[in-house]
Amino acid sequence: MSEFDIIIEPKKTIGHYWKELWQYRELFYFFAWRDFKVQYKQTAIGVLWAVLRPLLTMIVLTVIFGKVAKLPSSGVPYPILVFSAMLPWQLFASSFTHSSNSIVENANMISKIYFPRIIIPSSAILVSFVDFVISFSILVIMMLYYGFYPDIKFLLLPLFIILAVMTSYGIGLWFSALNVKYRDIRYVVPFAVQFGLYISPVGFSSDVIPEKWRLLYSLNPMVGVIDGFRWAVCGSVSELYVPGFSLSVLISFLILATGFLYFRKTERSFADVI
C-alpha cells in the first residue's frame, strides 16, 4: 500500500505545517505585494502618501506636545523625540489594524481556497513594515537635518524593531482569529489604537510616570518597545528602565506565543464560521 501525503482528520493538525508554510512562501509575498499596491491605487499622489502620512502626524504631535503642552525634551530636537516614538507606534498601530481585519477581509478566499491561513495576517504585517521602512528613512533625514547623531546604541535598534513586530504580530494573530467569530473586534480595534496612543509614551517620555507606577505601566508591551526605540535613537533623554522593559518583553513573547496557538487552534473552523 502506498503512503499518503495528506491525512485529514478532525481536530488534528495535518503534518508538515512548517514545510507547507515554506512551500507557500511566495504567496506570503504576493499578498503583501497586492495589499501594498492596492493601498495607493487610483490615488493622485500614490506612494507619496506613505511618506506624507507619518510626516503630517509627526508635525501635529510636535506642535501639540512640544509647543502647546511644552513637555521637556532634554536637548533632543522635539520632532526627533516624537518621531522616534511614533515610528514603532505607527508600525504597531498599522500592523495591528491590518492584521486584525485581514482574515475577515479575505473571507471569500478563506471559504473557497486552501492555503495556510497564517499567511494572511503575516503578510499584513509585512505591508505595514514597508510603510515603516519609508517612515524610518524620514527619521534618518530628519536626524541629518538637525545634525543629531546617535551613539553606538543605535545599532541595537533592529532588536527593538523585532520586538515591535513581535508584539503587533502576536496581537494581530489573536484579533484576526477572534474577528472571525466575533465581529465586535472590528469596533474594538480602532478604539484600542486610539486609546493606546494616549497610554503609550508616544507624545511624552515615560519618565513622567511616577516611579511606583512604572512597573505597572510596563504591562503595556508597547511601553517597552517605544522606550527601547527612543533609548536607542536619542539615548541622552532617558535611561532604559530595565525591570519595566523586561516585563514588556516578556509580555510580548507571551502574546505572540498564545496568539499563534490560538490562531492554530481556530483556523480549522474559519471557513465554517466566517
Partner 1 sequence: MSETVIKIENLSKRYIIGHETGAPYMTLRDTLTDVGKKLNPVRWLGKDTGDKSSKEEFWALKDINLEIKQGEKIGIIGRNGAGKSTLLKILSRITEPTTGKVQIKGRVASLLEVGTGFHPELSGRENIFLNGAILGMRKEEIKKKFDEIVDFSGVEKFLDTPVKRYSSGMYVRLAFAVAAHLEPEILLIDEVLAVGDAEFQKKCLGKMDDVAKQGRTVLFVSHNMDAIKGLCDNGILFFEGKVKLSGSILDVVDHYSLMFQSKKANLLHRYNIGSNFVEISDVKMEKVNIRYNHPIIIFVSTISKKTIVKATFTVTIKNENDNVVGLSYSFDCFELPKDLEKLLKIEIPPFNLAPGNYILNITIGEGNNEQGCKVYDGYFNILKFSIFGDWSKNGSLIGWRKSWGNIVINNMIISDLTR
Among 137, 181, 195, 243, binds partner 1 (CB under 8 A): 181
Among 18, 70, 198, 272, binds partner 1 (CB under 8 A): 272
Nearer to partner 1, 23 or 137 (CB): 23
C-alpha cell at 41: 491605487
Write phi, then psi, for 59 (nearest 5 degrees): -60, -45
Q: Does 42 sit near partner 1 (CB under 8 A)?
A: yes
Q: Does 112 sit near partner 1 (CB under 8 A)?
A: yes
Q: Does 153 sit near partner 1 (CB under 8 A)?
A: no
Q: Does 2 sit near partner 1 (CB under 8 A)?
A: yes
Among 55, 71, 109, 130, binds partner 1 (CB under 8 A): 109
Among 184, 199, 216, 239, binds partner 1 (CB under 8 A): 184
Among 16, 67, 183, 265, binds partner 1 (CB under 8 A): 183
Ordered DSSP codes for 64-131: IIIIIS----TTS-HHHHHHHHHHHHHHHHHHHHHHHHHHHHTHHHHTT--S-TTHHHHHHHHHHHHH
Q: Does 113 sit near partner 1 (CB under 8 A)?
A: yes
Site pattern 202..241 for partner 1 (x: CB under 8 A): ----------------------------------------
Helix pair angle (221-233, 157-181), 10° resolution: 150
**C-alpha to C-alpha distance for 264 and 274, rounded to whole angstroms:** 16
C-alpha cell at 221: 508591551
Question: Under 8 Å CB-to-CB from 135, ≥6 apart: which residues?
Answer: 50, 51, 54, 87, 90
**C-alpha to C-alpha distance for 186 and 197, rounded to whole angstroms:** 18
Among the listed ranges 6-14, 128-136, 139-147, 249-257, the one in contact with partner 1 (CB under 8 A) is 6-14
Selection from 57, 51, 50, 49 nearest residue 79 by Cα: 57
Q: Does 268 sit near partner 1 (CB under 8 A)?
A: yes
Nearer to partner 1, 108 or 242 (CB): 108
C-alpha cell at 184: 465586535
Among 7, 45, 140, 242, binds partner 1 (CB under 8 A): 7
Q: Does 44 sit near partner 1 (CB under 8 A)?
A: no
Q: Are 227 and 206 in contact (CB under 8 A)?
A: yes
Radius of gyration of the chain (CA): 20
Task: Tell me how many residues contact partner 1 (CB under 8 A).
Answer: 40
Among 15, 17, 22, 34, binds partner 1 (CB under 8 A): 34
List interacting residues with partner 1 (CB under 8 A).
Answer: 1-11, 14, 24, 26-27, 30, 34, 37-38, 41-42, 108-115, 180-184, 268-269, 271-274
